[in-house]
Amino acid sequence: MQYNRILLKLSGEALMGSQQYGIDPNRLKAYAQEIKGIVEKGVQVAIVIGGGNIFRGVSGMSGGMDRVQGDYMGMLATVINGLALQSALENEGIHTRLQTAIKMNEVAEPFIRRRAVRHLEKGRVVIFSGGTGNPYFTTDSAAVLRAIEIEADVILKGTRVDGIYTSDPEKDATATKFDFISFDDVLKKGLKVMDTTAFTLSQENELPIVVFDMNTQGNLLKVVSGEKVGTTVNL
């Protein structure tokens, strides 16, 4: 395996599958099976998942809601998704731990860095939910922060497109894909990989990012095996 310890970032919207809202059980099961495939190869896996399939703080603000309240609601949505993913993984026989940035002892452990690392060393999948625990930060920022804290080798950003393109491939048929690109070039070209805070934090800590299509069966295993899948962002 090219990577020993990874942080997998999944969007909440990805869990919707073909639905307009909520969680698609079939998509959830497919993701759990993909993750099981790399855990069985000995890869240590931590996961951060968004909450956009349930609630987005920014969209709440556009409707007149207080931004801070909206962001906390979004954090709680990530806990719901974390619980769902935990259940799906355990149905596949994978040992997991759910940790939250906001204490809710009845459903999850509080985030404690040393405990999270110990779980990973024991082969458990650790799901980090609740974002950073603070408003005004996205789950992209939470993913990079947690990856740095647990000393992950890479952030794997699972999306519905198979990498980073010169423009949106769903809108521009002439868009071309990058196999490798530097952090500086991403910024110079104005490409959207993560929000600026998350991306800058990743760059400053020399933490590579791989953007790939999570919905293609076998892609996750190919990425951790070092095959050329998606786009790698590095120094």
Mean predicted confidence (pLDDT) in 120-127: 98
Q: How far apart are CA 149 and CA 98, in angstroms?
A: 16
CB 5 within 8 A of CB 153: yes
Mean predicted confidence (pLDDT) in 12-33: 93
Residue 94 CB neighbour total at 10 angstroms: 19
- Structure confidence by residue, pLDDT tens digits, 33-58: 999 999 999 999 999 999 999 987 66
**In the block, residue with structure tokens 């295993």:** 221
Q: How far is CA 51 from the centre of its chain?
A: 11
What length does the chain have?
A: 235
pTM, two decimal places: 0.95
Map out the domains of the chain as residue ranges: 5-234
Q: How far apart are CA 107 and CA 93, in angstroms?
A: 20
Domain 5-234 carries which CATH code? 3.40.1160.10
Q: How far apart are CA 182 and CA 189, in angstroms?
A: 11
Element (H, E) at 97: strand 96-100
Mean pLDDT of the chain: 94
Mean predicted confidence (pLDDT) in 139-167: 96
Residue 61's pLDDT is 64
The residues, any chain, with a CB within 8 Å of residue 166's CB and separated by 6 or more, are 172, 175, 176, 178, 189, 191
Q: How far apart are CA 231 and CA 210, in angstroms?
A: 6
Tokens, residue 144: 């990079």
Tokens, residue 42: 């000995």
- Structure confidence by residue, pLDDT tens digits, 65-121: 898 999 999 999 999 999 999 999 999 999 999 999 999 999 999 999 999 999 999
